[in-house]
Amino acid sequence: MKRIVFLAVVLAALMAQATVTPLYLDETAPLEQRIDDLLPRLTLDEKLAIIHAQSKFSSAGVPRLGIPTFWTDDGPHGVRPDVLWDEWEQAGATNDSCVAFPALTCLAATWNPAMAHRYGVALGEEARYRGKDMILGPGVNIYRTPLNGRNFEYMGEDPYLASIMVVPYVQGLQSQGVAACVKHYALNNNELFRHTTNVIIDDRALHEIYLPAFKAAVQQGHAWGIMGAYNLYKNIHNCHNPYLLNDILKRDWGFDGVVVSDWGGAHDTEQAIRYGLDLEFGTWTNGLSEGARNAYDNYYLALPYKRLIEQGKYTTRELDEKVRRVLRLFMRTTLRDYRPRGSMCSADHYDAARTIAGEGIVLLQNKGGVLPIDTRRVRRVLVVGENAIKMMTVGGGSSSLKVQREVLPLDGLKARLQRDGIEVDYARGYVGDTTGAYNGVTTGQNLVDHRTPAQLIDDAVSKARQADAVVFFGGLNKSNHQDAEEYDREDYGLPYGQNEVIEALAKANKNLVVVNISGNAVAMPWRDRVPAIVQGWFIGSEAGNALADVLVGDVNPSGKLPFTWPERLQDVGAHAVGDYPGTKRTGEDIWDEEYREGLYVGYRWVDKAKTRPAFAFGHGLSYTTFTLGKAVVSSNHITAADSLTVTVPVTNTGSCAGAEVVQLYVRDVKSSMPRPAKELKGFKKVYLQPGQTAQVSITIGRDALSYYDDTRHQWVAEPGDFELLLGTASDRLPVKAKFTLE
């Protein structure tokens, strides 16, 4: 009897114990205590399994402990279609189409953090619906040269603008329980030789220009992931770089998330162990291009790591630190009891794509009021150009998408104009890239045209002479050596003979509008002979509708350039004095690229070299007009501990509602160190009705006055006089105010 009672007690105790939720699954417990509970439960093999890939886009969970597989997916403009287990090619699913949001250059051109937050939320909802736990984005590499094929994925040339725009994107995305993986950290500013470029840069330029957006994503956005870059810094690959990862990212910035390798970005097991890499991804044996299929156990952080531990060369100290970070990521994503379910291809997502695009489209030039198209007087419109009919969501590299729909510029404009009884005709004008496939996703378009360039121009000119207005859609596309991953552009000019087409159209019709579709600036030798120019970006699923909204005036353009648009490539610091794309070392497959222009990127170089760009950083016109009044500062004397607020009245002096971006630049009147003539340190977008005035206030603190002292390795704000410059573009700053830092 006693034995039966004893067994009953034991059984009851075991049953009670079985119903107790393990601490690591208790979301009410402090995060680090949950990790402390879970970490010792893992075997060595389980620890190693969760720090490297098990497939092209997933890493293993721990089924024994209820930890699911962790799924990543490419962004940053939409959720990429599912691919085969060990290949880049799509898996052939029929339910993985998405909404394509505007490229990040367009998002940055909105100069509106609210748009960035909406973007992140919508993308996060699509990712959640698709079962993705991390989006590989956003990208915040600096626009150093207009030849960089991947600039369209980034947020422009200015570290402050990129910092302000990346934070709400990250917060919006992660609000859906999907981790951001901010990329590519750091100094990945060209695609040419990206795997073998060793960047040589001074510490001031590194900290003042190339790191601030990453720092903001970490410290203000609280990003859960950072992706290392392919290139090298101080002769060490950035996916396991002690200076960037251990010293700056984890020690100085306090980053508590995971460092993810770019696919195939790891090169050495011991460096990966010691120098900050937490989660290794790629494919094939070498992580990128060679070796056996399904070779994930051979990754640098897999069996090679285990052998070093078994040999006694390493303890599990470094491993446990990596695992701790990965477990922290799991608890923020896959081990959360509740995450929003998400939604896919919803009406709200299409509306977000269209709204963001409308705010980011930039009216570069509008002589004689050619735009908006006057639907009361214009009866015949001719649309010209391959980019009016070519899908732009397929191609360009890892941001290539499979969309549910993509409204083409010709279709969007035709649908809008025909509502007002306007006849719309089309002429090809030029033939560029007639292909339309990437990693198994095809556009289904047949763009082949066998007419000669002369015939195409003649046909377009003949129709242009009969039209009331002509809209040319040209620019770049997602082909190799244009706006595309792995390739840089080979020159600054437009491809496919487009200049000749535009010149001929300008002679044939005085009401010509050129819409440039690209993520980069291009040479415009015909600029003075074309009345209206619009920068249309790559804007995704709603491209045709958003462009039509702006061209006919349903949306008043308010986008501002996030980069300087130079007249010539030689007017860019990286090409005038820099070392793009670098110099190949004798006997080595390494290219040393020295950033000799230092701090002077974009408008900073324009001010230093006293060049005149085609269109300045921050430039963007409207269909209405605005004036700025006199600035009032909260104090003429402040200390380093104070903040300062400047207020300026802005009035819509035109005849229609619109938005203007008030831009605040700071100039250090006298500094012991060389400093740019001015630097963007604040901005605010304001929407006004005709005749309405708003008081726009911008507050700055010590950080807006500081430079990085590379001798003391700290930020310094020197006492002295400063000048505030306010206006609507970096070359239009009519309002000034002064103050003194005590």
In sequence order, which residues have a C-beta less than 8 Å from that of residue 491 and are 6 or more positions away? Answer: 147, 569
Please count the other Cβ atoms lying within 10 Å of the Cβ belonging to residue 559. Answer: 30
The string of DSSP codes covering 296-349 is: GGGSTTSHHHHHHHHTTS--SHHHHHHHHHHHHHHHHTTT-S------SS-HHH
Going by their DSSP bridges, the two strands 232-233 and 197-200 should be labelled as parallel
Return the beta strands (E) in 62-150 as ranges: 70-74, 134-136
Tokens encoding 5: 């009672």
For tokens 């009216």, name the residue.
Answer: 363
Going by their DSSP bridges, the two strands 58-59 and 134-136 should be labelled as unpaired
Catalytic residue among 158, 262, 549, 571: 262
Is the bond preceding residue 207 a cis peptide, omega within 30 degrees? Answer: no
Do 710 and 644 touch, CB atoms closer than 8 A?
A: no
Our CA angle for 670, 674, 678, nearest 5°, is: 70
First to last CA, the chain: 88
Tokens encoding 428: 């090809």
DSSP one-letter code for 291: S
Q: What are phi and psi of 86, to 5 degrees?
A: -125, 20
Return the beta strands (E) in 572-640 as ranges: 583-584, 591-594, 626-628, 632-633, 637-638
- Cα(323)–Cα(32) distance, rounded to whole angstroms? 13
Q: What are phi and psi of 358, to 5 degrees?
A: -60, -35
Do 628 and 648 touch, CB atoms closer than 8 A?
A: yes
Our CA angle for 298, 299, 302, nearest 5°, is: 80
Nearest to 302 by CA among 101, 489, 60, 13: 60
Do 691 and 659 touch, CB atoms closer than 8 A?
A: no
Tokens encoding 257: 């998330």
Radius of gyration of the chain measured on its C-alpha atoms = 27
Q: What are phi and psi of 144, to 5 degrees?
A: -90, -35
203 classed as catalytic: no
Do 37 and 24 touch, CB atoms closer than 8 A?
A: yes
Question: What is the identity of the amino acid at 576?
Answer: A
Going by their DSSP bridges, the two strands 380-384 and 179-185 should be labelled as unpaired
Tokens encoding 162: 């990129």
- Cα(221)–Cα(162) distance, rounded to whole angstroms? 12
- Cα(737)–Cα(638) distance, rounded to whole angstroms? 14
Please count the other Cβ atoms lying within 10 Å of the Cβ belonging to residue 557. Answer: 27
Question: Active-site residues: which are they?
Answer: 262
